[in-house]
Structure 1
Amino acid sequence: MRYTLKDYQQDAVRDILGNLAEAREMFHNPRLRRTSQFALTATTGAGKTVMAAAVIEALFYGHDEFGFEPDPSAVVLWFSDDPNLNEQTRFRLLAASDELNHSDLRVIAHPFSEEKLSPGKVYFLNTDKLTRTSRLTRGHDAGDEDNQIPDLRASVRPDLQGFTIWDTLRNTIEDPNLTLYMVLDEAHRGFGTKASADKPTIVRRLVNGHGDVPPVPVVWGISATVDRFEQAMKAAEVAESRRGLDRVQVDPARVHASGLLKDTIVLDIPAETGVFDTVLLTRATRKIKDSTSAWAEYAATHADQTGDGTKTDPVVPLMVLQVPNTPDPDMVARALDVVFDEWPELGGDEVAHVLGDHTTQAYGPYAVRYISPERVQDDTTVRVLIAKDGISTGWDCPRAEVLMSFRPAKDATHITQLLGRLVRTPLAMRIEGNEVLNSVECILPFFDRKTATQVVQILTGELDGFPDPTGRRVLIRPETMTPNPDVPEAVWDALVELPSQSLPRKGAKPVKRLTALAHALAVDGLKPDAGAAAHQEMHAVLNGAAARHKDKLDTAVAEIWTVHGEEVAGRYGQTGVSLDRFTEVADDRAIRDAFRQAGRVFSPDLAGTYVDALAGPDDDQDDDGLRDAYVTVAALALIPEVGDDLDREAAKLTTKWFDEYRVAIKDLTPERQAVYNDIRAMAVDPQRMDLTRPKNALVETSYPPKSADEEPIPMPSRSQHLLADAQGQYPVGTLNDLELEVLDKELSRPGVTAWYRNPSRSAQDSLGIAYKDARGTWKTMRPDFVFFDQAGLDQTVRASIVDPHGHHLSDALVKLHGLAAFAAEYGDEFHRIEAVAKVGVATRVLDMKSEVVRTAVFNASDAQTLYVSHVAGTY
């Protein structure tokens, strides 16, 4: 793979491969011979195609880390209802995979006349290619197979079409040496409605089979709305004959935490009644110009991720003008007049459209060229794009920063569909501490606050229609808060030194983590020989383990060299059979297979370099010595204690290097620091993480009016926040009564210098604390407030965590457990760590720096009992 998979993507790929292996076994096992289906569900922007590329690579070529052997029988049929979507997927698979090439990814189109599909290939097919009028199917009458004249089907086939596509699929499925895996892209589409259940759709024919065409052995559905897929499979009446495997479901919270999706959607609407489309379009154009400048500034001040000091290519933002399905050419021309008036340096060829008519369109004096949707992201000459709603499926454009919609309020669904395609972050990562660059703007000139509220409800999941809004904020005309000049620099220094915690990762391997750290240190020039040094240290660990466990190693070596077998014999005329065991000496292929298993224990890289170390320099290597080295490494991997020793020492070396280069890492660019934070998080236990200094914040400043006739009501605000408006104020209207009570109480204390409303999203400028929920799953809590005061003669800055939280909430106790554990580990770095709750009319507090309180928390059965007990105090 050319891309490094995110942790949630790795977990999903591992689960998908497990399902495919089980499905293959069920289909080819003569005792089972069952077809199967399962679904992958992941939010828009999660990287479903990247995950699919990793799965297909492993299917064709195997994958040591996932412990997956290649399937030489594998044929993949990628099916959707849109050829453009297929083409975009083919391009993305090529971009993501370093194993697949153009010849491996074939589009099925006339003339396509093959008896069978070939193993090791991905074939792209869409619905239109399977209709009765398609030249790929002509001569195949699915409705009257039994009554046809035998030679008629062949005689009516078009030239160059010796086999219909249905013939090809039948022959592929019936070949015992092939396994057809069908990927049903955007799986909720193509099944038809319940009303038409008596007339099978094309997808149903594929899934169920028809006539002499058997059902597809394995169906893998991919969709952000997988429930529809599963309902459709049930409606297709496949439950009896086709086994449903475990759904692979990606937690949207993990996707949001990865930084692949934008944190904030900003809605701009008129504040009064009237026609303001040109006014708001001018505002939209200013926003895209400001965004262009912001990204250019960001690129100019940040080195790229190769660490060689060269500058990053700036993101080139795009503004989308969404027009009605039947756009008025004069209206579009007037809109372009406004855009060019506000943006005179914009070139005429920098405006394009993706409308159904694929030709240059004339709008008054403007000739607007056509561009295919899949090319928009990469063609940075396009700065303004005219679109309808036809690109709401299968198209992503992360550089689209501004959406100006001329749709009326009744088209809220069309707007949210298009917004769903614009939520990816341009650099596939969050720009830490910069909410402006992590947002997308939507300007709605024909909406009032009432109808805009409907859009907000859709975007935040209160109403159906928008994919997985977990962790995303929707703001209506917020203001940008910037660093408060009244806050002393010492407070900022204290903030970035505070500990935060990573979310543990399932199946994390210490050796892989060490290797990743070594690579990063070498890339950044902090330790150029880090890779060699890491492997040298691990070789020493393996040498020591081999000496300590010599007897076990000798036994394991003998086991590697020996292949055990059984000979079963029977004689004619006699009942029963004889069973004889035999042994043979392992050949090179068996040794290589054992060595591959060692790569899964030690990591393929480390196993390879250790073989080289054991075999000696290239000039001294001979076949016997190299073979012995492979056997030794394979044998060591069979001894559990060796793997444990290696993991422990790899973790120690990783910790040592992080400590040694802590200050140097802080001097790197935010992008590079994010890489190190990601490496820190590659552990099965919470790890200390660095906080990033926030640069700005988007904050709502007024309450939405109850009706369209009312004016927005300004929110109350408080001073001394780290980020503030031009008057030094920070809005607090979104805080509940307890939170406001705590805030005012803390600000009234002597010596208080500043406070920070800790962001609730997953970001490096948000202090996170890991905890286990009731099911034992690791999650992250984010305390509401961090307060700073100055004490002593030297006016030392002290930080305090104060977290108001309802004791009645279902997660109250487990979050207290997490806060107590955090205080036990990092309490010395804080002045206070307190949890506050309202019990009746009293406000109670738990001092987590007290060992007595922490013990009570860990032994408690519910949160309320804690707050009313003697271990709590009056706040």
Structure 2
Amino acid sequence: MKFTLKDYQEEAVREVLENLRDSRAFWRDRNRKTAFSLTATTGAGKTVMAAAVFEALFHGDDNYDIEPDPGAVVIWFSDDPSLNEQSRYRLLEASDRLSISDLVVVQSTFQREVLEPGKVYFLNTQKLSKSSLLVRGHNPDDEGIEKDGQIRLMPDSRSFTIWDTIQNTIDDPALTLYLVLDEAHRGMRAATGAGEKTTIVKRLINGSGPVPGIPVVWGISATVERFNAAMTDMTGRATLPNVVVDSAKVQASGLLKDTIILDVPKEAGQFDTVLVRRGTDKLKEISSAWEAYGKQQDDAGTVLPLMVLQVPNAPDHNDIGRALDTIFTQWPDLPEDAVAHVFGEHSTQTFGRHTVPYISPERVQESTWVRILIAKDAISTGWDCPRAEVMVSFRPARDKTHITQLLGRMVRTPLARRIPGNERLNSVDCLLPFFDEASVKDVAKALMSGGDGGDDLPGRRVLINPVELKPNPSIQETVWDKLLSLPSQSLPKRHARPVKRLTSLAHELAVDGLLEDAGKAAHAEMHKVLDGARARYKTEIETARKSVLTVEGKSLKADLKGGGMSFDDFLEEADYAVIEDAYRRAGRAISPDLATSYSDYLARNEGDADDMEAALIEAHVTIGALGLVPGIRETLEAEAEKLANQWLTRFRVDIKNLSDERQDVYRQIREMSANPMDVDLARPTSWMQPTTIREANGSETPLPSFERHMLCDEHGIFPEDFNSWEGEVLKSELARAGAVAWYRNPSRASQDSLGIIYEDGGEPRIVRPDFVFFVQQDDGTVVADIVDPHGIQFGDAMPKLKGLAQYAERFGEQYRRIEAVAKIGDRFRVLDLKEAATRASVSTTTTIKALYESEDAFDYLP
């Protein structure tokens, strides 16, 4: 893969491959057809995950411990050829093991008796319709080529229709045909409707006439409910567990923008011109912000944002022309040829005095000359443009679905990562001139679930008419230094591979010039570990070598005369193929790269210099034996984890001096650990914050405002809607002597949010304390206090409290106070987690209310 998969993507790929393995066994061993889905919210990278699956399916993959399937054939099906082309492009973009020839777009001239293994064939409903040359002359009820004594004529005198080809592929015992239904691109929706599209999809799944259903169906869907509904009337097919990607992990990954800003008029009326001007100003501002960020980072990719003008399906071209006039008046430096459209009419269109060319949706992202894109709803599904940062929609309020679908395509982060501390660059703007605040709530609700009706996306905020906050100029730098020194934690990786993590770190350190020949140094250290393990496990390795060098089995002897049978043991020397199989299996355990370098090391240092081929074979035997001794892998991984952590600590300051992009690479490597890792906080530079409370009757009330926050608006205030006792805690802390600043710790998974690990039901999770307060002591030093209003009514309250206590035990010296406050009856009670006795009670108590009522807690007083 050209891309490093996110943790959730690796987990999903692993589960999909397990399902495909089981599906293949069901089909080959029992002639049983199967189906399952991969469900992930918009922007999760479903096509990238599919690319990783195809690589492993066709070529095998040591990371997933999977051998290649030499008979694998894939049909990728959707209902739109342009969407297929975009999916094909993304697969090529993501994979370094799939070539152009492996990804075949089935054209009308296509003709094969059997589909070729190791390839993905792209089909769509148009290619399988009755009028298509690929199927013309085919009757699904025919029992064969000959019917009523006459030979069925094929289109263009070809020998096979596409249905014949599919049937022959399914019937070939050496092949396994997999059908990928790209439901997110509308492929599966047809299966629950009526008409020819429905018939085509059902025929692929259920079969018809002599053509059987495709053995394995893998649906890639936005919501599992939609796929399950489509599969309800599918016959003779077992369903395997669906692979569902946790939406919280998707949002936390940084692939999706954290904030969607909705601008609506404060009152009813026609405000299209006003909001077009405002949208143009936002485009100018975000363009300047990206330009400044690119200059600051030096190596950051250039982001040229665009604005989408979304119009009704039957738009007035003069209205569009007036909107373009407004844009060019507001931004005179914008080139006249910076406009394109994606209408169904694939021809140049005239809008007022403006002549605007057509561009295909999949080309918009790369065509950086496009800064204004005019669209209807054709691109609301199956199209992504991460640099689309602003949208002005002329859709009326009744078109909420069209708006949310298109906005759902605009939520990918332009650089495929979160910009540390800059919420402005992690957001997308939508201006709705024909909406009121009541109707826009439905849009906001849909966007909170990714626009697909699934689970909410934790960490994503939808803000209506917010204000931008910048660093508070009245806060002294020593306070910022204290904030950035506070230790934060990241979630561990479920399927960590410490040796791979070490070699990845070594590569990046060498790229940045921080450690010369880091890769050689890493492998040399691991060679020493393996040498030590060979001495420590000498007896076990000798036994394992015999297992590698011999093949044990049983032979059946049948006495034909007497009718008796017996089994005799046999023992044969292993041939080269058996030795290499053991070597490859060991390579998967200790990492293929390390297996290669260690075999070369053994051959050079312990082998016969006059016969290097024999020396390498002997080295492969040794490594194959090492892979059979469990303790060796455990020792190796522990030492690899230790060395990687030492290097990360050693080069911590150097890494912090790199660009955001390079720091993000090291952040991902740091988080590849199987253990929770300490991470640095990023300095926040821009937050978006709501300013009003919308009441049920539609009226607005300004949010309470507070001073001395680390970020503020132009008036020095921070607006926030706290619950009653959060507000009480805040007021009490700000009233304390020496209080100089406070920090509303973001609840989202951003680099400027302080995270603390806790365990709930055996799963590691992150709690983010509400407040950090800063106090200047008499000697001028600045100290930090965590004061967390801790609600006890939630099921995870006790696990979170235990996590906070463990954090206090480890990092308590860096804080003056670490306290958890709860309201018990009419009183506020507090637990001082810097006290060892209190932490001991937290670790043993199961009832949180009793804990706050015990002598370990005391009344919270300002």
TM-score (ref. length: structure 2): 0.96
Matching of residues 266-665 of structure 1 within 5 Å: 266-304=261-299, 312-461=300-449, 465=453, 468-572=456-560, 574-616=562-604, 622-665=612-655
Aligned-residue offset at 1:467: 7.4
Aligned partners of 2:496, 2:709: CA distance in 1, in Å?
Answer: 38
Secondary structure of the structure 2 residue equivalent to 1:301 = helix
The amino acid of 2:278's aligned partner reads: R
When residues 840 and 744 of structure 1 are mapped into structure 2, their CA distance, relative to the original with a 3 A threshold, is same
Aligned partners of 2:569, 2:560: CA distance in 1, in Å?
Answer: 21
Match of 2:22 in 1: 22
When residues 702 and 426 of structure 1 are mapped into structure 2, their CA distance, relative to the original with a 3 A threshold, is same
1:776 is the counterpart of 2:740:
no
The amino acid of 1:747's aligned partner reads: L
Aligned partners of 1:79, 1:629: CA distance in 2, in Å?
Answer: 47
Aligned partners of 2:36, 2:176: CA distance in 1, in Å?
Answer: 16
Aligned-residue offset at 1:460: 2.2
The amino acid of 1:487's aligned partner reads: I
Aligned partners of 1:303, 1:572: CA distance in 2, in Å?
Answer: 83
Aligned partners of 2:17, 2:238: CA distance in 1, in Å?
Answer: 16
Aligned-residue offset at 1:235: 2.5
Secondary structure of the structure 2 residue equivalent to 1:391 = coil
Residue-by-residue CA offset, 1:132-164 (whole Å, 9 max, x unaligned): 222211222224659982565632x21143111
Q: Which runs of 5+ in 2 are unaligned?
A: none
The amino acid of 1:319's aligned partner reads: M
Aligned-residue offset at 1:275: 1.8
Aligned partners of 1:835, 1:787: CA distance in 2, in Å?
Answer: 13
* Superposed CA RMSD: 2.0
When residues 16 and 531 of structure 1 are mapped into structure 2, their CA distance, relative to the original with a 3 A threshold, is same
Q: Does the CA-based 8 Å contact 1:266-1:474 persist in structure 2?
A: yes
Match of 1:740 in 2: 727
The amino acid of 2:431's aligned partner reads: I
Aligned partners of 1:603, 1:324: CA distance in 2, in Å?
Answer: 55
When residues 644 and 464 of structure 1 are mapped into structure 2, their CA distance, relative to the original with a 3 A threshold, is closer
Aligned partners of 2:140, 2:573: CA distance in 1, in Å?
Answer: 55
Aligned-residue offset at 1:564: 2.0
The amino acid of 2:393's aligned partner reads: S
Match of 1:309 in 2: none
The amino acid of 1:47's aligned partner reads: G
Aligned-residue offset at 1:466: 7.0
Aligned partners of 1:385, 1:19: CA distance in 2, in Å?
Answer: 41
Match of 1:818 in 2: 803
Aligned partners of 2:144, 2:172: CA distance in 1, in Å?
Answer: 23
When residues 450 and 106 of structure 1 are mapped into structure 2, their CA distance, relative to the original with a 3 A threshold, is same
Aligned partners of 2:451, 2:750: CA distance in 1, in Å?
Answer: 26
Match of 1:96 in 2: 94
1:186 is the counterpart of 2:183:
yes
Residue-by-residue CA offset, 1:695-716 (whole Å, 9 max, x unaligned): 11100112225445x4x32222
Tell me whether 814-823 or 615-624 shows the greater mean CA deviation.
615-624
Aligned partners of 1:463, 1:262: CA distance in 2, in Å?
Answer: 14
When residues 462 and 256 of structure 1 are mapped into structure 2, their CA distance, relative to the original with a 3 A threshold, is closer
Aligned partners of 1:595, 1:622: CA distance in 2, in Å?
Answer: 17
Aligned-residue offset at 1:850: 1.4
Residue-by-residue CA offset, 1:426-478 (whole Å, 9 max, x unaligned): 00000010000000000001111111122112222499747753321001111
Aligned-residue offset at 1:721: 0.4
Residue-by-residue CA offset, 1:745-765 (whole Å, 9 max, x unaligned): 100011111100000000110
The amino acid of 2:68's aligned partner reads: P
Q: Number of residue pairs matched?
A: 857
Q: Does the CA-based 8 Å contact 1:538-1:646 persist in structure 2?
A: yes
Match of 1:670 in 2: 660
Q: Does the CA-based 8 Å contact 2:181-2:188 persist in structure 1?
A: no
When residues 273 and 785 of structure 1 are mapped into structure 2, their CA distance, relative to the original with a 3 A threshold, is same
Aligned-residue offset at 1:582: 2.0
Aligned partners of 1:467, 1:499: CA distance in 2, in Å?
Answer: 31
1:3 is the counterpart of 2:26:
no
Secondary structure of the structure 2 residue equivalent to 1:221 = strand
Match of 2:12 in 1: 12
Matching of residues 802-813 of structure 1 within 5 Å: 802-813=787-798
Q: Does the CA-based 8 Å contact 1:565-1:582 persist in structure 2?
A: yes
Tell me whether 400-409 or 337-346 shows the greater mean CA deviation.
337-346
Tell me whether 59-68 or 135-144 shows the greater mean CA deviation.
135-144
Match of 2:120 in 1: 122
When residues 467 and 389 of structure 1 are mapped into structure 2, their CA distance, relative to the original with a 3 A threshold, is farther
Q: Does the CA-based 8 Å contact 2:141-2:210 persist in structure 1?
A: no
Aligned-residue offset at 1:322: 0.1
Match of 2:172 in 1: 175
- Which of 156, 159, 183 is 2:156 aligned to? 159
When residues 520 and 192 of structure 1 are mapped into structure 2, their CA distance, relative to the original with a 3 A threshold, is closer
1:785 is the counterpart of 2:771:
yes
- Which of 738, 748, 755 is 2:742 aligned to? 755
When residues 462 and 397 of structure 1 are mapped into structure 2, their CA distance, relative to the original with a 3 A threshold, is closer
The amino acid of 2:766's aligned partner reads: T
Aligned-residue offset at 1:190: 3.8
When residues 494 and 160 of structure 1 are mapped into structure 2, their CA distance, relative to the original with a 3 A threshold, is farther
Aligned-residue offset at 1:663: 1.8
Aligned partners of 1:827, 1:874: CA distance in 2, in Å?
Answer: 21
The amino acid of 2:11's aligned partner reads: D
Aligned-residue offset at 1:53: 0.4
1:142 is the counterpart of 2:140:
yes
The amino acid of 1:667's aligned partner reads: N
Match of 2:815 in 1: 830
Q: Does the CA-based 8 Å contact 1:808-1:863 persist in structure 2?
A: no
Aligned partners of 2:320, 2:565: CA distance in 1, in Å?
Answer: 86
Aligned partners of 2:419, 2:449: CA distance in 1, in Å?
Answer: 25
- Which of 759, 781, 785 is 1:800 aligned to? 785
When residues 524 and 150 of structure 1 are mapped into structure 2, their CA distance, relative to the original with a 3 A threshold, is farther
Q: Does the CA-based 8 Å contact 2:183-2:189 persist in structure 1?
A: no
Residue-by-residue CA offset, 1:575-632 (whole Å, 9 max, x unaligned): 3433232222222222221111111111111111111111118976611101111111
Q: Does the CA-based 8 Å contact 2:191-2:197 persist in structure 1?
A: no
Q: Does the CA-based 8 Å contact 1:508-1:682 persist in structure 2?
A: yes
When residues 204 and 342 of structure 1 are mapped into structure 2, their CA distance, relative to the original with a 3 A threshold, is same
The amino acid of 1:20's aligned partner reads: L
Secondary structure of the structure 2 residue equivalent to 1:349 = coil
1:244 is the counterpart of 2:232:
no
Aligned-residue offset at 1:198: 13
Aligned-residue offset at 1:193: 7.2
Aligned partners of 1:571, 1:210: CA distance in 2, in Å?
Answer: 51
Q: Does the CA-based 8 Å contact 2:41-2:452 persist in structure 1?
A: no
Aligned partners of 2:370, 2:734: CA distance in 1, in Å?
Answer: 50
Secondary structure of the structure 1 residue equivalent to 2:61 = coil
Residue-by-residue CA offset, 1:12-54 (whole Å, 9 max, x unaligned): 111111111111111111xx22111111001111110000000
Secondary structure of the structure 2 residue equivalent to 1:45 = coil
Q: Does the CA-based 8 Å contact 1:398-1:426 persist in structure 2?
A: yes
TM-score (ref. length: structure 1): 0.95
When residues 612 and 621 of structure 1 are mapped into structure 2, their CA distance, relative to the original with a 3 A threshold, is farther
Tell me whether 63-72 or 672-681 shows the greater mean CA deviation.
672-681
When residues 461 and 110 of structure 1 are mapped into structure 2, their CA distance, relative to the original with a 3 A threshold, is closer
